[in-house]
Structure 1
Amino acid sequence: MTQTASVPRSPPRLGFGTKTLYGVGSVAFGVSSLGLSSSVLQPYLNRVIGLPALWVGTAIMLTLMLDALIDPMIGHFSDKLRTRWGRRHPLMYLSVPLVAVACFAFWNTPPEWGPARAGPTLILLLVLMRLAVSFYEVPSQALAPELAPDYNDRTGLFSYRFFFGVVGGLGMNVLLYRVFLSPEHGGILSRSGYGLYGLTAGLVMASTIFLSSIGTHRHIKTLIQPPVRKVPTAQVVREVWGTITNPSLIVVMLSGLCSGVSMGLSGALSQYFYVELWGMKAAGVSLIGLAGVAASLFGVALAAPASRLLGKKRAMLTLFTVSVVTTALPQGLRLLGLAPANGSPWIMPFLVGDFFIATTLAITGFIIISSMIADVVEDAAVKTGVRSEGLLFAANGLLNKFTSGIGVFLSGVLLTVVAFPSHAAPGTVSPEIMRHLSLLYLPVTAGMSGLSILVLVFYK
């Protein structure tokens, strides 16, 4: 028997304070994206802990795939949850203590543990950390179309979300390389430096998640509260299937399948390239992070005007295309012998400028495509009669996480193929090894990114 839902009050127009508090929670996602990214995990587990590169790539791939399977379950559970604190906030609050404990424990295993003992423990903690982040991130994403039901307002709200996410991730990147892994703390392979990072990251994530959850709590009474429905399991399965097979969502998911391979591979190898191919120290890598923070400001500012000027779809396709070309440019020029030489005064402006442009365009594109996914939520609700924000956002990330894991696994394969020396001191790896790695890496990442853009042409 279906119960009648209480009709929520009309959602007030969101002010600067609410948008800011909602966005602040994405600092946690940004920090976790850095800490759980293969760009940090791969060298940490491989070069600091001492696990073989192929093992590390396989482990990261499997934990990403497990996370991808769990996220839709969390999303669906969140859609069906009914409490006096609404559908989303109970899970968001639950993530606060979990993320703090898991993050600290992961980066602070006892130094006397060898790879054989530390490896299994770290994998379990990695799974727990991903799960803890998902308890916040999946419901929080689903909250956006409820807070901002207007078609154009969603782009603005997602701009706040991406801004704080990028600032959180790249800001922590600066701290990691300029403070925790500085020469004073032992350099780029310092185990104690990673430990300090884990403590700081855990506290930052827990506090920003709590602040965002409290800051949006007062809106619970105005959010959509679908009626409690008691339906047969077969009907639930049909509704879920009808939601995740929305044609526009399938296009976005297929695009994510292609881009996930590229992002997973590039993320896993970025530190290797910065340190060994370009000859950067930790301070230099941190400048890349600072450029990303600045790019986030420009990306957020560009999203709404670009969306209005070109339309969401055309703007997103244009921005991603130029971003992919810009991203591939430095290594392409290095392979052709046209890039500035290591040690040249032009090397840092060249790399920082290129990263700034590529990141600005990519962030703007991701803001717009997130707004487009929120539009799919409304389209699916009209067609199925069921609101499934949590399931839709989680389903969109499913294939991307699967293929990101494959990309990370491929990084381990490439490092093994080129015989990359795991315990080599930073900056001592043979240029021929790095050239070989770049020749294998660049066609895969550029090709998969290009294919992901081509698929998005079919978005309706």
Structure 2
Amino acid sequence: MASFGVGEIAFQLHNMGMSLLLLFYYQQVIGLSGTLTGAALMMSMVVDAITDPLIGGWSDRFKSRFGRRHPFILASSVPLAISFVLLFSPPESFGDTGNFIWLAVFSVLVKLSVTFYYVPHMALGAEMAQDYNQRSTLFAFNGLIGATTAATTHFLIYMFVFPTTETFDPGMLDPDGYPRFAWGSAIIITAALAFTVWGTRREIPYLRNTEADSRLSFGEIFSDMVAMFKNRNFFILFIATFLIGIHGGVQEVFQIYLVLHFWEFKTEEYGWLGPLMLTAFLLAFLITPSLTKRFDKKRTLVFATSIQVFIPSVMVGLRLLEVPWFPANDSDWILILFFATTYVQMMCNPVAGATIFSMFADIADEHELHSGKRREGAVYAARAFSSKALAGVGTMIGGVLLDVIQFPSNADAGSVSAEIVWRLGFIAGPAISMIALLGIGLFFYHNLNRSRHAEISRQLAERKSRHHMA
């Protein structure tokens, strides 16, 4: 379980760079417009739309003495590390056109490398844990590792990589910090993926084998994807997570702008959120299996996602409405309230993530019952596309909106007009939350609960028993 979870480190480091730093770096430091930055990153999402089902279908059908999933994970490590470093190292005086092309090319290469690892990695987890409740525990642990990585990286970024100085206030304007972050992440990514492959190698003999008549072709892969979208529960979860993902993507883009210009925190103050988040993630890991056992996965997901989405909007809304009793930005209480609400939000984040991954694994069983084929790769290819689309579409929308509100580049602390700051808060708070509300509503139509999954497992076991007897 630990070896599987370590693989999440690579995804989280890449995700921190792509969703948290990349647009700010190119828009604020490099000086590329938010729209061009968003358009370049949107290209990587188009590549995802094509490669996710291809890699998922390929890994479903791949045959080797090292299993179906392990070769893909190992092969992705070095290309991912190299392309990630180059993404944050554009040549100086390249111009808008050159920077746009550089960003587009290397963001595509990073996304392609992540697809080679992430889709097979998630499919491997679905194969390793075949029990309804065991999957919740496995993916909760995977979420804990990822969340811990995110929290630790958060602390290091804002405390040591981008500290506030006389020259750079906020510290995020320091151009030298971005290559340092990329190099450190690249080394850890390579080591994490190698450890995952090595640590889970003993599971290979016990994993499901590729069907004897299975072949890789574009037609077969397309048929797999069509079949998955015909599954009612899969379609509901895909659309719901996509809508919530767009909300999350825009919020991730705007978060650092809110912290530095809406709430007027220093980077070091924001950095202390990292250690606090660790306890939230640990608590989430401990309670996720119990929540899904007691309340079932759907109720757990609705509850956790609702808090995750609307808690941040409450604080922003109170500031926008200029509520008299709400603390001013120069009050110590505003930082305490920000940390408290973010703590609750971060505690719900891994709960929702682990639950949704576990629900997709259950859908793979349902699909096998109806089709007679194991297609974890196809399931998680579509899930990975939804997850990465939130970064692509959300980043694109966020970049365009920054240009719409005319947010200036290289903006020092306190230099942005009050009108632009108000628009920033309104978009990042109440406006974008309406999209997520639609996604949460769709969760209520999912009907693959514990009793239904138990019946599916029983029928699959009977089918397998008859096959062996024959």
2:54 is equivalent to residue 73 of structure 1: yes
Instruction: Measure the CA separation in 2 of the matches of 1:149 and 1:74.
Output: 22
Instruction: Measure the CA separation in 2 of the matches of 1:93 and 1:277.
Output: 42
Shift of 1:94: 0.5
Shift of 1:231: 6.5
Q: Is the 8 A contact 1:251 1:456 kept in 2?
A: yes
Q: Which residue of 2 aligns with 1:15?
A: none
* Aligned AA (1:433): I
Q: Relative to structure 2, which stretch is displaced further, 20-29 or 337-346?
A: 337-346
* Aligned AA (2:319): R
Q: Is the 8 A contact 1:321 1:453 kept in 2?
A: yes
Residue 20 to residue 51, structure 1, CA distance change in 2 (3 Å): same
Instruction: Measure the CA separation in 2 of the matches of 1:235 and 1:261.
Output: 30
Pick from 53, 64, 70 the counterpart of residue 34 of structure 2: 53
Q: Which residue of 2 aligns with 1:252?
A: 237
Pick from 38, 43, 53 the counterpart of residue 62 of structure 1: 43
Instruction: Measure the CA separation in 1 of the matches of 2:194 and 2:220.
Output: 36
Q: Relative to structure 2, which stretch is displaced further, 402-411 or 96-105?
A: 402-411
Q: Which residue of 2 aligns with 1:360?
A: 347
Task: Structure 2: give runs of 5+ residues left out of the alignment.
Answer: 448-470
Task: Structure 1: give runs of 5+ residues left out of the alignment.
Answer: 1-18
Instruction: Measure the CA separation in 2 of the matches of 1:272 and 1:169.
Output: 19
Secondary structure of 2:272's partner?
Answer: helix
Instruction: Measure the CA separation in 2 of the matches of 1:160 and 1:285.
Output: 26
Shift of 1:145: 1.6
Give 1:200-211 correspondences, 5 Å limit: 200-211=184-195
Residue 232 to residue 63, structure 1, CA distance change in 2 (3 Å): closer
Instruction: Measure the CA separation in 1 of the matches of 2:390 and 2:80.
Output: 24
Instruction: Measure the CA separation in 1 of the matches of 2:407 and 2:101.
Output: 23
Pick from 109, 114, 124 the counterpart of residue 90 of structure 2: 109
Deviations 1:369-404 (A, max 9, x none): 211111001110111111110111111233454454
Give 1:83-232 correspondences, 5 Å limit: 83-183=64-164, 186=168, 187-229=171-213
Instruction: Measure the CA separation in 1 of the matches of 2:414 and 2:200.
Output: 47
2:5 is equivalent to residue 20 of structure 1: no
Q: Which residue of 2 aligns with 1:4?
A: none
Q: Which residue of 1 aligns with 2:16?
A: 34
Give 1:292-441 correspondences, 5 Å limit: 292-338=277-323, 339-402=326-389, 404-441=391-428
Shift of 1:176: 1.4
Residue 321 to residue 20, structure 1, CA distance change in 2 (3 Å): same
* Aligned AA (2:244): S
What TM-score do you get using the length of structure 1 for normalisation?
0.91
Deviations 1:76-129 (A, max 9, x none): 111010011110000100011112211222222333434432331222111111
Secondary structure of 2:354's partner?
Answer: helix
* Aligned AA (1:126): S
Q: Is the 8 A contact 1:180 1:196 kept in 2?
A: yes
What TM-score do you get using the length of structure 2 for normalisation?
0.89
Shift of 1:236: 6.1
Q: Which residue of 2 aligns with 1:290?
A: 275
Residue 235 to residue 74, structure 1, CA distance change in 2 (3 Å): closer
Shift of 1:289: 3.0
Secondary structure of 1:191's partner?
Answer: coil
Deviations 1:205-252 (A, max 9, x none): 111111111100111111111332157966665444223321110000
Instruction: Measure the CA separation in 1 of the matches of 2:3 and 2:436.
Output: 33
* Aligned AA (1:273): L
Instruction: Measure the CA separation in 1 of the matches of 2:230 and 2:259.
Output: 40
Q: Is the 8 A contact 2:173 2:410 kept in 1?
A: no
Give 1:241-280 correspondences, 5 Å limit: 241-280=226-265
Instruction: Measure the CA separation in 1 of the matches of 2:383 and 2:422.
Output: 35
Instruction: Measure the CA separation in 2 of the matches of 1:351 and 1:230.
Output: 53
Shift of 1:285: 2.2
Residue 235 to residue 319, structure 1, CA distance change in 2 (3 Å): closer
Q: Relative to structure 2, which stretch is displaced further, 85-94 or 324-333?
A: 324-333
Shift of 1:40: 1.3
* Aligned AA (1:222): Y
Q: Is the 8 A contact 2:313 2:429 kept in 1?
A: yes
Shift of 1:324: 2.2
Instruction: Measure the CA separation in 1 of the matches of 2:391 and 2:89.
Output: 25
Q: Is the 8 A contact 2:292 2:355 kept in 1?
A: yes
Q: Is the 8 A contact 1:32 1:169 kept in 2?
A: no
Q: Is the 8 A contact 1:291 1:355 kept in 2?
A: no
Secondary structure of 1:188's partner?
Answer: helix
Instruction: Measure the CA separation in 1 of the matches of 2:21 and 2:392.
Output: 14
Q: Is the 8 A contact 2:62 2:210 kept in 1?
A: no
Secondary structure of 1:421's partner?
Answer: coil
Q: Is the 8 A contact 2:259 2:265 kept in 1?
A: yes
Q: Is the 8 A contact 1:144 1:157 kept in 2?
A: yes
Q: Relative to structure 2, which stretch is displaced further, 249-258 or 399-408?
A: 399-408
Aligned length: 441
Identity of aligned residues (%): 27
Residue 230 to residue 324, structure 1, CA distance change in 2 (3 Å): closer
* Aligned AA (1:301): L
CA RMSD of aligned residues (A): 1.9
Q: Which residue of 1 aligns with 2:463?
A: none
Instruction: Measure the CA separation in 1 of the matches of 2:253 and 2:404.
Output: 15
Instruction: Measure the CA separation in 1 of the matches of 2:103 and 2:223.
Output: 38
Shift of 1:265: 1.0
Secondary structure of 1:51's partner?
Answer: coil
Residue 133 to residue 200, structure 1, CA distance change in 2 (3 Å): same
Instruction: Measure the CA separation in 1 of the matches of 2:372 and 2:363.
Output: 13
Q: Relative to structure 2, which stretch is displaced further, 315-324 or 436-445?
A: 436-445
* Aligned AA (1:340): P
Q: Relative to structure 2, which stretch is displaced further, 344-353 or 396-405?
A: 396-405
